[in-house]
Amino acid sequence: MATRVLTPQGEDFPRWYQDVIAKAELADHGPVRGTMVIRPDGYAIWERMQSDLDARIKATGARNAYFPLFIPESYLRREADHVEGFSPELAVVTRAGGKQLEEAVVVRPTSETVIGEYLAKWVQSYRDLPLLLNQWANVVRWELRPRLLLRTSEFLWQEGHTAHASEADARAYTERIHVDVYAAFMRETLAMPVVLGRKSAAERFPGASNTLALEAMMRDGKALQMGTSHELGQNFAKAFGITYLSEQGREELAWTTSWGTSTRMLGGLIMCHGDDRGLRVPPRLAPVQVLVTIVKDGAGVAAAARQIVADLRAEGLRVELDDRVDLPFGRRAVDAELKGFPLRVEVGPRDLVEGVVVLARRIDRSKRSMPLGEARSAARSALIEDQDALYAEALAHRESHTAKVSSIEDAVEAARTGWATIPWSTLGAEGELRLAEAGVTVRCLTMPDGSIPPSEEADGALAVVGRAY
């Protein structure tokens, strides 16, 4: 038995999570409480998330922009629910350029207010609508109980902000982001099954008239909210004066939306796919899909390994060479498993004499010898298969850890190890309060066929409940 590298998940899941982040060198604590450092191996995954998601967002017609970090405190006060929701988490700059500021400025916790000001300026006529903006930025929400990547005082995210001429258009766009962008990205690229639903009134974004959420199950049975999309109704349009001249020449209030996903997805990825050996990064996402490893030096080994790297790259794969033969092979293998490279191709002198290499798959730790000439197509197929297999495994885990119940007691019991679904008509806002006493929350409301309920009152709507990060 090899030395234990990580605390096993079954023994202490939160400690396993911390161990993976530290040992796989994904992130670290910042010097100011609650902040974080995203290390190169973690950041490389985030960059891949960004570029994939960014292309999907742009395909809806949204354009990137950048709005200031600092927001006048007075802006937040303009929307009552919004300021109430965010006030406890604000970081405030009171001194700058060597002087006390006349009006303190807050470090953005989210940008509805400052972007609202500019939407008001830029939207004049119905011809300017819809106006679809997105930004990649850092935001600050002071955290009392920080947890790396999941809940940090500063995090990175994208936040979309749009203005529309009608409620129907705002709703359709919110759902498009939710279903066609976010859920598709999580399913196709992160290999994470997500439940799509609407938040109950108690769980809505401060200032929203409707919040859609994507919930994923972690391997300990808890839920993680992976992204949200909000219909803001005319709340921010009223607060900031976002009006337009309609085709009929009338002045109308616009309808706005906002939607975001963050570095928290990195935490979700770790906890959805990771195992006792470390991270398992889905092939489509992985910054390095194949690690070609020289087992040991020998005649022609380095040249053969380099040729494999070149061949795989010619297939369009992302490949790195591990030629650190001065380090023990075993230690490098443990490290590669920790970091979750989907595939390794091991090239060693003995195998090479026989014209074979070993293909090692991270997903199930299986190893297979094959003729050198087959490595290329075998790698390509394995990457496709393992992307799907990771998704299937996560989905099976969720399904086997979700109970259909019809009482609050059973829901609380199910939430000890996973989720429960319970008819919303049975639970209701009052049942939601009772669940909260047991540390269980309504993650979202969803329809039995997985679609989003048109309203809280929709016939047949189910509450998905569980403990959550």
Smallest distance from the beta carbon of 100 to a copy of itself, in angstroms? Answer: 10
Q: How many CB atoms lie within 10 A of CB 432?
A: 20
> In this structure, what token pair is assigned to residue 159?
């936040």
- Nearer CB in complex with a copy of itself: 44/358: 44
Does residue 117 belong to the site contacting a copy of itself (CB under 8 A)?
yes
- Nearer CB in complex with a copy of itself: 92/384: 92
- Residue keyed to tokens 């796919």: 273
- DSSP letters along 224-235, please? EEEEEEEE-TTH
Q: CA angle 311-314-318, nearest 5°?
A: 90
- Tell me whether residue 4 is exposed, middle or buried, using C-beta atoms within 10 angstroms of its C-beta: 0 to 12, 13 to 18, 19 or more: exposed
- Nearer CB in complex with a copy of itself: 31/249: 31
| Segment 285 to 344, residues that bind a copy of itself, using CB under 8 A | none
Smallest distance from the beta carbon of 407 to a copy of itself, in angstroms? Answer: 38
* All residues at 6 or more sequence positions from 285 whose CB lies less than 8 Å from its CB, including other chains: 45, 48, 49, 52, 189, 190, 191, 269
Binding mask 24-43 for a copy of itself (x = CB under 8 A): ----x-xxx--xxxxxx--x
On whether the CB atoms of residues 347 and 310 are closer than 8 A, the answer is no
- Nearer CB in complex with a copy of itself: 90/292: 90
- Nearer CB in complex with a copy of itself: 31/316: 31
Binding mask 129-168 for a copy of itself (x = CB under 8 A): ----x---xx-x-xxx--------xx-x------------
- Which of 59, 64, 385, 407 forms a contact with a copy of itself (CB under 8 A)? 64
Phi, psi for 99 (deg, rounded to 5): -130, 160
Report the C-alpha gap between 28 and 18 in whole angstroms: 10
Phi, psi for 4 (deg, rounded to 5): -75, 120
- Nearer CB in complex with a copy of itself: 19/432: 19
Smallest distance from the beta carbon of 111 to a copy of itself, in angstroms? Answer: 11
DSSP bridge partners of 434: none
Smallest distance from the beta carbon of 159 to a copy of itself, in angstroms? Answer: 14
> In this structure, what token pair is assigned to residue 157?
């995210």
Q: Containing H/E element for 289?
A: none
- Nearer CB in complex with a copy of itself: 155/419: 155
> In this structure, what token pair is assigned to residue 151?
């809940």
Q: Is the peptide bond before 130 cis (omega within 30 degrees of 0)?
A: yes
Smallest distance from the beta carbon of 327 to a copy of itself, in angstroms? Answer: 10
Smallest distance from the beta carbon of 373 to a copy of itself, in angstroms? Answer: 31
On whether the CB atoms of residues 324 and 332 are closer than 8 A, the answer is yes
- Which of 11, 80, 84, 94 forms a contact with a copy of itself (CB under 8 A)? 94
Window contacting a copy of itself (CB under 8 A); options: 2-10, 95-103, 251-259, 308-316: 95-103
- Nearer CB in complex with a copy of itself: 8/70: 70
Does residue 66 belong to the site contacting a copy of itself (CB under 8 A)?
yes
- Cα separations in angstroms, 293 against 90, 328, 344, 369: 48, 12, 7, 14
Does residue 241 belong to the site contacting a copy of itself (CB under 8 A)?
no
- Nearer CB in complex with a copy of itself: 47/388: 47
Q: Is the dihedral of CA 349, 351, 354, 357 positive or negative?
A: negative
Interface with a copy of itself (CB under 8 A)? 28, 30-32, 35-40, 43-44, 46-47, 63-72, 75, 87-98, 104-105, 107, 114, 117-118, 121, 133, 137-138, 140, 142-144, 153-154, 156
